[in-house]
Amino acid sequence: MPVLVMKFGGTSVANLDRIRNAALKVRREVERGYDVIVIVSAMSGKTNELVGWVNETSPLYDAREYDAVVSSGENVTAGLMALTLQEMDVPARSWQGWQVPILTTSAHGAARFIDIPRTNIDQKFAEGMKVAVVAGFQGVSSEGRITTLGRGGSDTTAVAFAAAFGAERCDIYTDVDGVYTTDPRITSKARKLDRIAFEEMLELASLGAKVLQTRSVELAMRYKVKLRVLSSFEECDETSGTLVCDEEDIMESKAVAGIAFSRDEAKMTLVTVEDRPGIAAAIFGPLADAGVNVDMIVQNISEENFRDYKGGVTDMTFSCPVDQVKRAEKAMADARARGDIKYDELVIDTEVAKVSVVGIGMRSHAGVAAKMFKALASEGVNIKVITTSEIKISVLIDRKYMELAVQALHDAFELDKAS
């Protein structure tokens, strides 16, 4: 029998009625002739509740016990889904991570997959089981301890199972009906995409789009797993949702596929840093050790270099999440105190946002950057930092102009039109 993987997020299994609704979708696929692997998240809000209980009990918690507690939400959902399917006369069985087993590293709270042996589930399919309901987000380490994959890990679990079992497709059911050109809450002109390339989806996910977890898209791209994003709350057919697939499976690509944004960014500039070999490592090494997620990096010519043409100093600008500013500030102060780096001043701007245009069509379309900058200029939006890649252009701007910028770029690239 062909295998289909179906993943249901927290809002899709938030209560018993929604679990039953999801089970009806699973039964429909069984009736179409599939053996189905269902990956479930915890009920909406349950993981946050469990994390809160852990923090309240033990602020400096043992990571192994943290995983034991927070993974329990998915176990409950898996059991309830299996019971619901059984009530519909669908042969189903729930599976926790250790029962499969889903083998992972021992990095509790951020584990990575090592292997997903097929033997146990294949044997049950051969014996007549039609649906394996697997608790997402979790696995088991070589020490036999429960591990978790990090927030959003159920998406990654689903893609990993699709790869391991050679599934025909991996359907991700969520509270939206697909991937849009941008957030519909920002502009009513946002359009649902029928297809999007893995690379585009990966960029959008990493830049702030919350439809799919970044690691799940990376895994899908590596193993060529076709993903489909669907709504749990609508009737779906073969044309529903958005298919995330190879670039070759898309007939013709527009220059820009979508606009992503991240509201909570900060810009930090080290003024008059020594301009010497190794200075970047001396700056970004301590930031990495402090757990600061650095994004955009620009090295500027310092004003000092204009006054003294011999050079010797530079300015280094980078962006990071606004909630990591204090950590970054301390890491730089400590590095200066140790004598690892020298700088005159650390200038911090916590009122910025990142806006990005993404599209594989940029490879064959000239003038995307010019059109982007012209659209922003026409709305009076000043650009603070620019970074580019082969299929992406990102800018940092004042946060108060973020929504205006997204709307202007969406109009400039006519993303409301299919072609």
Is 365 inside any structural domain? Answer: yes
- Closest Cα to residue 203, out of 74, 97, 316, 356? 356
Query: For residue 184, how far is the Cα from the chain centroid?
Result: 18
Is 223 inside any structural domain? Answer: no
| H-helix segments, 127-184 | 153-164
- Encode burial over 378-388: b for 16+ CB neighbours within 10 A, e otherwise: eeebeebbebe
pLDDT of residue 208: 63
Contacts of 338 (CB under 8 A, 6+ apart): none
In order of 167, 178, 278, 346, the CA distances from 232 in angstroms are 20, 11, 51, 48
Q: Which of 150, 175, 200 corresponds to the end of one domain?
A: 175
pLDDT of residue 309: 43
Q: Which of 153, 175, 197 corresponds to the end of one domain?
A: 175
Is 29 inside any structural domain? Answer: yes
Structural domain count of the chain: 2
> Which CATH number goes with the domain that contains 318?
3.30.2130.10
Burial class (CB in 10 A: 0-12, 13-18, 19+), 19: buried
> Which CATH number goes with the domain that contains 19?
3.40.1160.10
Query: Would you state the torsion angle of the CA atoms of residues 191, 196, 200, 204, taken in this order, to the nearest 10 degrees?
Result: 40
Is 212 inside any structural domain? Answer: no
Instruction: Clarify whether residues 170 and 269 are in a common domain.
Output: no
Give φ, ψ of 337 to 5 degrees: -65, -35
Q: Along the 419 residues of the chain, how does pLDDT read in single tens digits?
A: 899 999 999 999 999 999 999 999 999 999 999 999 999 999 999 999 999 999 999 988 999 999 999 999 999 999 999 999 999 999 999 999 999 999 999 999 989 999 999 999 999 999 999 999 999 999 999 999 999 998 788 999 999 999 999 999 999 998 888 889 998 889 989 999 988 999 989 888 877 666 788 889 999 999 999 999 999 888 877 778 899 988 877 766 778 999 999 988 999 999 999 888 899 999 999 999 998 999 999 987 655 554 554 457 889 999 999 999 999 999 999 999 999 999 999 999 999 999 999 998 888 788 899 999 999 999 999 999 999 888 899 999 999 999 999 999 999 999 988 76
| DSSP codes joined into one string, 36-99 | EEEEEPPPTTHHHHHHHHHHHH-TT--HHHHHHHHTHHHHHHHHHHHHHHHHTT--EEEE-GGG
Is 405 inside any structural domain? Answer: yes
Is 210 inside any structural domain? Answer: no
pLDDT of residue 202: 87
pLDDT of residue 184: 87
Q: Which of 126, 148, 175 corresponds to the end of one domain?
A: 175
Instruction: Clarify whether residues 362 and 263 are in a common domain.
Output: yes
Which residue reads 């690509």 in tokens? 253
Give the residue numbers spanning the domain of 353. Answer: 259-412
Cis preceding-peptide flag for 101 (omega within 30 of 0): yes
Instruction: Clarify whether residues 51 and 170 are in a common domain.
Output: yes
pLDDT of residue 116: 97
Half-sphere exposure of 123 (CA within 13 A, CB side): 4
Strand pairing of 169-174 and 3-8?
parallel
In order of 10, 13, 18, 157, 178, the CA distances from 175 in angstroms are 9, 11, 11, 19, 9
Is 10 inside any structural domain? Answer: yes
Q: State both tokens at 146.
A: 């429960």
Q: State both tokens at 7.
A: 């993943």
Instruction: Clarify whether residues 121 and 268 are in a common domain.
Output: no
Is 238 inside any structural domain? Answer: no
pTM of the model: 0.82
Distance of alpha carbon 139 from alpha carbon 149, whole angstroms: 8
